[in-house]
Structure 1
Amino acid sequence: MKKQIKLSLSLLVLISTSYGIAQDMGTIEFISDELSAVINKDAKVEKIADGCQFTEGPLWIEKESMLLFSDVPANTIYKWTEAKGKEVYLKPAGYTSTESRGGFMGSNGLYLSKKGELLICQHGDRRIAKMDAPLNAPQTNYTTVVGEYDGKRLNSPNDLVMSKKGDLYFTDPGYGFEKGMNDPKKEIPFQGVYKMDKKGKVTLQDDRIPQPNGIAIFPDKKTMIVASTDGEDKGWFKYDIDKSGNLKNKRVFYNVAKEKGMGGCDGLKIDKSGNVYATGPDGVWIFTKDAKLIGRIKFSRLSVANLAFSPDEKIMYITATNNVFRLKMK
């Protein structure tokens, strides 16, 4: 989610309609020829789903040939297939209480565990939960994976990733609160990056990012990247992962605080070669593992929130404002 999006959802829809935001199909900018190694020069971005409020958390499920993605304000996870298009997969997806509320209450980041379980960042319920049902027969039955730190309820878990050894890392900004950062229900005074080990112990890894967001592990399994949505440190930080799985040696990977484009730094993914695909101002920023900017997928009038790959990394799925896009890269 983006802190700088201060418009109400209804006004955002009005502006989208009036100015043709839905027609912003995205263009590929080749800053370096290195980008042609992963994206063909003639590749085109295509829209595959629309009509949502704010799309997030795309996850391709190869076994079912389906894309799952969150519509956060609608409290819904949709599935998309080539045959049937967009269909409701889970509702409610992130807020299961009967007490009425608004805001970004639904699910956000989605993750498929090694056991084939769907893990869900649930803003409204302020936890990471597991769906207790098969992927091909979804049910709104959830079990809490992690919902507290130091005896206090989390803010609104946003994104997550699991290491090969089974440590679960996640970010916990405050975007899910109905009344913003001053919501009286907020129990933790900061927005953290956390690790939960296989025994369920939760440890704080970083409390100095104003709004931590996307998170991913590099192929070397020794380094991690975390997005900082906005502010003076808007961009991405890199960490070393020590032998105990803790994050050390924090440093700037790339800073975009001076960029004035649409959207903040949100979800991201890393391919098998270590290239980083990170949503940021005006679209997806593409870097080498050494933070060299080699290209962008530009959406000048949409707020791009997240992306996902097919297993062979030849197809990218992008969530942007009320749409989902597909890019056949190779």
Structure 2
Amino acid sequence: MTTGRMSRRECLSAAVMVPIAAMTATATITGSAQAAKNNMNGSTIGKITKFSPRLDAILDVSTPIEVIASDIQWSEGPVWVKNGNFLLFSDPPANIMRKWTPDAGVSIFLKPSGHAEPIPAGQFREPGSNGMKVGPDGKVWFADSGTRAIMKVDPVTRQRSVVVDNYKGKRFNSPNDLFFSKSGAVYFTDPPYGLTNLDESDIKEMNYNGVFRLSPDGRLDLIEAGLSRPNGLALSPDETKLYVSNSDRASPNIWVYSLDSNGLPTSRTLLRNFRKEYFDQGLAGLPDGMNIDKQGNLFASAPGGIYIFAPDGECLGLISGNPGQPLSNCCFGEKGQTLFISASHNVVRVRTKTFG
């Protein structure tokens, strides 16, 4: 998503080992990117707005939103790798996965992060990795828009493998984000964002954009086929609720699915519709990535920034970037009280009172 009211996505016209040329050297950093590396210089963006006194237990509105990385084509899918003490984040259109540490700043972790180069002409808008999570095996699992698969990468060796790339013989569209349950099952979304011409892509094999659940035993279930643009998702700590965003300006919604004991949905309710924020207020972005803290507070991207919802659904506050700057996704990291946010051409961090 870029500046203004439209999202960036609207504006842009069985494990198999995959060899990669992983780049380990620190990226060349000059000009404004040097400021991103020297992130302790106090460079900040945006503001925090309180809608309810309940926010005070989660976040202080005076907390700075600190820039830690800049000069990114489009930042996405941050994940904190505890065994290594570093942050990874994606740049899907650039086909790069980057690494950040407090001491060394930004470097390239994988290039390409998704589809092998050269990219086939006219097929992909976003050939790289997108959302990421650390799996129960210690590897970083990620939604790969270009390879059109759920992948995982060893954070030490950088060796990649395919987890799953099809449903009933049909290739996924372009997996976008994922979230693990305590059992090791992984939920993921599969919109068409990575494909040129989206739903009209010549290489799109499915006639829907799905939400899936992959069980530890390898069973793959299609749990939702009725959303136009499924995107970010998160589980409540007790795993009775699955939150899913729909990044469609015609229906910019966040949905809540009630789950049974098998982790499958039984019903859904609307958490919030963001047409007012998008159309009437002209706020940048659409419902996108999300994460959740240990108390069940939801941190969800939507028009205007990252909204904080209590478990009962009350909207408590908003973390926003600069005017016209959409925030796309977030994760908790460091000692659990830092929220890292992908913020268009930046990555930022905010200190929290809550633990994630």
Query: Which residue, out of 277, 288, 298, partners 1:276?
Result: 298
| Cα pair distance change 1:65/1:312, threshold 3 Å | closer
Alignment partner of 1:74 out of 90, 94, 98? 94
Q: CA deviation at 1:277?
A: 0.5
Aligned partner of 1:239 in structure 2 is: 257
Letter in 2 for 1:171: T
The CA deviation at 1:62 is 1.9
Task: Determine which of 107, 113, 121 is the counterpart of 1:93.
Answer: 113
- Structure 2 CA distance for aligned equivalents of residues 39 and 33 of structure 1: 10
Q: Which residue of 1 aligns with 2:84?
A: 64
Q: CA deviation at 1:4?
A: 3.7
The whole-number CA distance in structure 2 between the counterparts of 1:283 and 1:149 is 33
Asked whether the equivalents of residues 136 and 184 of structure 2 are also in contact (C-alpha less than 8 Å), the reply is no
Return the alpha-carbon distance in structure 2 between the equivalents of residues 77 and 275 of structure 1: 28
Separation (CA, whole Å) in 2 of partners of 1:7 and 1:83: 36
- Local SS of the residue matching 1:209: coil
- In structure 1, C-alpha distance between the alignment counterparts of 2:260 and 2:335, rounded to whole Å: 29
Q: Does 1:119 align with 2:141?
A: yes
Matching residue of 1:302: 325
- Give 5+ residue unaligned stretches, structure 1: 10-16, 18-22
- Are the equivalent residues in 1 in contact too, given 2:177–2:189 (CA < 8 A)? yes
Gap regions ≥5 residues in structure 2: 14-31, 33-42
Q: Which residue of 2 aligns with 1:20?
A: none
Corresponding residue for residue 150 of structure 2: 128
Paired AA for residue 58 in structure 1: P
Q: Supply the AA of the counterpart residue of 2:293.
A: D
SS at match of 1:259: helix
**Closer, same or farther in 2 for the Cα pair 1:206/1:8, shift >3 Å?**
closer
Letter in 1 for 2:107: E
Read off the aligned partner of 1:179 and give its amino acid letter: N
Q: CA deviation at 1:137?
A: 3.7
Aligned partner of 1:103 in structure 2 is 125
The alignment of Structure 1 onto Structure 2 pairs a total of residues equal to 314
SS of residue matched to 1:73 = helix
| Residue 217 (str. 1) matches residue 239 (str. 2) | no
User: After the TM superposition, which residues 149-228 of structure 1 pair with which residues of structure 2 at under 5 Å, given as runs?
Assistant: 149-228=167-246
CA distance in 2, matches of 1:106, 1:69: 11
Offset, 1:201:
1.9
TM-score w.r.t. length of structure 2: 0.84
Amino acid at match of 1:7: C
- The aligned amino acid for 1:266 is D
Take 2:119 and 2:304, find their aligned partners in 1: how far apart are those partners?
A: 36
- Aligned-residue Cα RMSD (Å) equals 1.9
Contact 2:73 2:91 in 1 (8 A): yes
Indicate whether 1:7 and 2:11 are aligned: yes
Mapped to 1, the partners of 2:343 and 2:129 lie a distance apart of 15
What amino acid is the match of 2:339?
M
Secondary structure of 2:11 counterpart: coil
Moved more, 249-258 or 259-268: 249-258
Shift of 1:180: 2.3
Q: What's the counterpart of residue 53 of structure 2?
A: 33
* Secondary structure of 1:69 counterpart: strand
SS at match of 1:219: coil
Distance 1:7 1:240 in 2: 34
TM normalised by structure 1 equals 0.90
Looking at structure 2, the residues matched to 124 and 66 of structure 1 have their Cα atoms a distance apart, in angstroms, of 24
Contact kept? 1:277, 1:284, Cα under 8 Å = yes
Runs of 4+ in 1 over 4 A off after TM superposition: none
Aligned to 2:340: 317
